[in-house]
Amino acid sequence: MMSQKNSRRELVLVGLSHRTAPVELREQVAFDGARTEQLSRKLQANQMVAEIVVLSTCNRSELYAVQSAACPANTGALESSFAASHGMLPASLNGYLYRQNDGDVVRHLFRVVASLDSQFLGEAEIQGQVRDAYLRAVAIGVTGPVLNRLFQAALEVGKRVRAETGISARPVSVAFAGVKLGERIFGNFMGHCALVVGAGAVAEQVVQHLRERGVSRLLVSSRTREHAEKLSQRFGGEIVPWESLSSVLATPDVIVCSAASSERVFSRGMLAQAMAVRSNRPLFLIDLAVPRNIEPSASELYNVYLYDIEDLEEIVEENRKARAMEVPRVEEIIAQHVSKFEAWQAATELAATWAGLSQAEKVKLIEARAEQIHPVSLENRQRWIQQTSALLEAERDVDRSDASGRPGRMRSSMRALRILFGYGEERS
């Protein structure tokens, strides 16, 4: 009887995320660069894993591993190491960790990089975070053929999802939605001035987005001067005394309001005067305050674009629904790449199985398979045996991938192996 070797090394995932753990716990188990390297080297040196990638973001901490030949996959050991690396007992993570194996690991990672598992559907940062985690593992030297292939495939999934679907196209935060509206008016913020009134958290986010998009000048005003100073120092702004607000209204092109005030900060009349001074150049206002800081009827003024918190929340909700409509297409892309990865796994297992056979077993298998090919002449069957034997012996190192991201070609020997073992044609 032919010897059979199990060439599969199981994929294992242990982790937690915003879906399973509160932010306080996620903060405790975050992996920085030093802790990532220490844990990765320790697990590999102790032969607990053959390969490992640690993915750690503000919303998740996950270990992706391939079992070693010396130590079959043991999620319990990985969980203990996960906890110990943060000075915690494994029991303290009970109910928060999830564990997955093989195909579920592949599907999970592809969903993560496609942002389907993110706190905000369609967020773009996760693709870069997955890439950085993978490249860090490559630099440490703890990846191998399986995780190289898996993470390269994951990055391709992320690239396709963002290029072929609209899941990341619409802003789903109030701050970003406001800034995107402003870009519709001005095209970009280069050369424009912004005034921030008040110092709320959302207002700070708007200012950060404005700065990132090149707003040239920033004015800051708050009833509490200390708040204005902090915001000004953080984003490089100029402080405007609260009592002088009306005198600078003609200067900014963008005004962001989030002041705690029971009375209107800006009346329609004040803005009308400012527009006259600025020759009716467009003025974009975001009123994030409740009660509102700006008199609503100011929106009726020519070239004044006023949006309050309800307007922005309505836009965000519409955008969330639009992103959700893209999910089925994203799932299709993921399914395609899961199938491709599983085909690659099957191919490498076949190649390893063939390499583990003795020469006599190989000859016997080829001849037995040849007997099943009918109706074929004896001469053609012998020719098939000779060609198949030569092909398989010449090209056993099939479909390898390196860490540079350049997958090897699926050689013709793989096709012969699949036919020989009765798997039919290779899937594309």
193 flagged as catalytic = no
Catalytic residue among 58, 71, 193, 257: 58
Tell me how crowded residue 195 is: count the other CB atoms within 10 A of its CB.
23
- Residues annotated as catalytic are 58
